[in-house]
Amino acid sequence: MIKGVAVNALGVIPKLLRPLYLILFSRALGIEKYGLYILVTVFVEVFAKFTIMGTNGGILHLMSFLKDRKQEKFIPTVIHLSAIGVFIFGLLIASLLYFFAPWVAHSVFDKPEITDELRYFVWILPVISTAYVYAGALRDTMNMKYEVLNQSFLEPLIILIFGLIFIHFFGVMGLAFAYILAHTTTTTIMCAVTKKIYGPFVWAKEVIFFPWKKFLRDSFYYFGMRGLNLLKHQMDVFIVGRFFTLKDVAIYSAALEISAAIKRLRFVLEPILMPVVQSIEKAGISSQETKRYLSSILRYLSYPCLLVIGFLMIKSKFVLSFFGPNFTQGVDLVVILVLAQYFFSVFGILEAVLYMYGKTHVAFLHNIYLLVLNVCLLIVLIPQYGLMGAALSTLIAVFVVGWLNVYKHYTIKGYIPFVSFFARHVTIFSVLMAILFVFRKTFLQNEISSWITAGFFVATFGGYILHELKHSLSFSDVRKVAS
DSSP at 446: S
Q: What pLDDT, on the 0 to 100 scale, is given for residue 37?
A: 93
Whether 260 is covered by a domain: the verdict is yes
Whether 424 is covered by a domain: the verdict is yes
What pLDDT digit, counting tens, does each position of 100-113 carry?
999 999 988 889 99
b/e burial code for range 296-325 (CB count within 10 A of at least 16 → b): bbbbbbbbbbbbbbbbbbbbbebbbebbbe
More confident position, 310 or 297: 310
Question: Between the CA of residue 186 and those of 54, 179, 180, 278, what are the distances in Å?
Answer: 19, 11, 10, 33
DSSP string, 47-115: HHHHHHTTHHHHHHHHHHHHHHTT-GGGHHHHHHHHHHHHHHHHHHHHHHHHHHHHHIIIIISS-GGGH
Residue 371 sits in the same domain as residue 423: yes
What pLDDT digit, counting tens, does each position of 442-467 carry?
655 666 777 777 787 888 878 877 77
Whether 235 is covered by a domain: the verdict is no
More confident position, 302 or 400: 400
Q: What pLDDT, on the 0 to 100 scale, is given for residue 96?
A: 94
Residue 175 sits in the same domain as residue 274: no
Nearest alpha carbon to residue 308 among 251, 366, 254, 261: 261
DSSP string, 280-328: HHHHT--HHHHHHHHHHHHHHHHHHHHHHHHHHHHSHHHHHTTT-GGGG
Please compute the mean of the pLDDT values over residues 186-204 and round it to a whole number: 79
Residues 164 and 86 sit within 8 Å (Cβ to Cβ)? no
Residues 110 and 244 sit within 8 Å (Cβ to Cβ)? no
Nearest alpha carbon to residue 205 among 100, 81, 295, 319: 81
What pLDDT digit, counting tens, does each position of 53-88 carry?
777 767 776 777 777 677 667 777 778 888 888 899
Residues 130 and 83 sit within 8 Å (Cβ to Cβ)? yes
Number of domains in the chain: 2
Whether 11 shows a pLDDT value over 80: the answer reads no
Please compute the mean of the pLDDT values over residues 409-438 and round it to a whole number: 74
Cα–Cα distance between 467 and 465 in angstroms, integer?
A: 5
Where does the pLDDT of residue 21 fall: very low under 50, low under 70, confident under 90, or very high at 90 and above? confident
Residue 129 sits in the same domain as residue 253: no
Q: How many CB atoms lie within 10 A of CB 375?
A: 17
Residues 148 and 208 sit within 8 Å (Cβ to Cβ)? no
Residue 423 sits in the same domain as residue 474: yes
Candidate from 28-32, 63-67, 284-288, 377-381 with smallest mean pLDDT? 284-288
Residues 292 and 300 sit within 8 Å (Cβ to Cβ)? no
Residues contacting residue 147 through CB under 8 Å, at least 6 positions apart: 11, 135, 138, 139
Q: How many CB atoms lie within 10 A of CB 85?
A: 15
Residues contacting residue 36 through CB under 8 Å, at least 6 positions apart: 111, 113, 114, 117, 172, 246, 249
pTM for the model: 0.81
Cα–Cα distance between 312 and 327 in angstroms, integer?
A: 15
Helix (H) or strand (E) holding 38: helix 31-52
Q: Which amino acid would we find at residue 125?
A: L
Residues contacting residue 63 through CB under 8 Å, at least 6 positions apart: 75, 78, 79, 137, 140
Q: What pLDDT, on the 0 to 100 scale, is given for residue 2?
A: 44
Q: What pLDDT, on the 0 to 100 scale, is given for residue 5?
A: 47
3-class DSSP assignment, residue 13: coil
Q: What pLDDT, on the 0 to 100 scale, is given for residue 227?
A: 60
Residue 258 sits in the same domain as residue 129: no
Please compute the mean of the pLDDT values over residues 227-243 and round it to a whole number: 76
Residue 370 sits in the same domain as residue 277: yes
Whether 221 is covered by a domain: the verdict is no
DSSP string, 239-256: HHHHHS-HHHHHHHHHHH
Whether 445 is covered by a domain: the verdict is yes
Range(s) of the domain holding residue 363 = 243-483
- Polymer length in residues for the chain: 483
What pLDDT digit, counting tens, does each position of 37-52 carry?
999 998 888 888 877 7
Residue 110 sits in the same domain as residue 251: no
3-class DSSP assignment, residue 143: coil
Whether 458 is covered by a domain: the verdict is yes
b/e burial code for range 164-188 (CB count within 10 A of at least 16 → b): bebbeeebbbbbbbbbbbbbbbbbe
Nearest alpha carbon to residue 261 among 320, 212, 214: 320
Nearest alpha carbon to residue 57 among 216, 272, 210, 263: 216
Residues 56 and 129 sit within 8 Å (Cβ to Cβ)? no
b/e burial code for range 53-67 (CB count within 10 A of at least 16 → b): bbbbbbbbbbbebbe
Where does the pLDDT of residue 251 fall: very low under 50, low under 70, confident under 90, or very high at 90 and above? very high
Question: Between the CA of residue 209 and those of 53, 68, 78, 204, 213, what are the distances in Å?
Answer: 22, 16, 12, 10, 10
Residue 144 sits in the same domain as residue 10: yes
Whether 482 shows a pLDDT value over 80: the answer reads no
Residue 43 sits in the same domain as residue 188: yes
Q: What pLDDT, on the 0 to 100 scale, is given for residue 70?
A: 72
Residues 422 and 302 sit within 8 Å (Cβ to Cβ)? yes
Whether 388 is covered by a domain: the verdict is yes
Where does the pLDDT of residue 122 fall: very low under 50, low under 70, confident under 90, or very high at 90 and above? very high
Mean pLDDT of the chain: 77
Cα–Cα distance between 234 and 44 in angstroms, integer?
A: 10
Residue 186 sits in the same domain as residue 288: no
Last residue of a domain, one of 158, 191, 210: 210
Residue 127 sits in the same domain as residue 79: yes
Residue 273 sits in the same domain as residue 185: no
Whether 223 is covered by a domain: the verdict is no
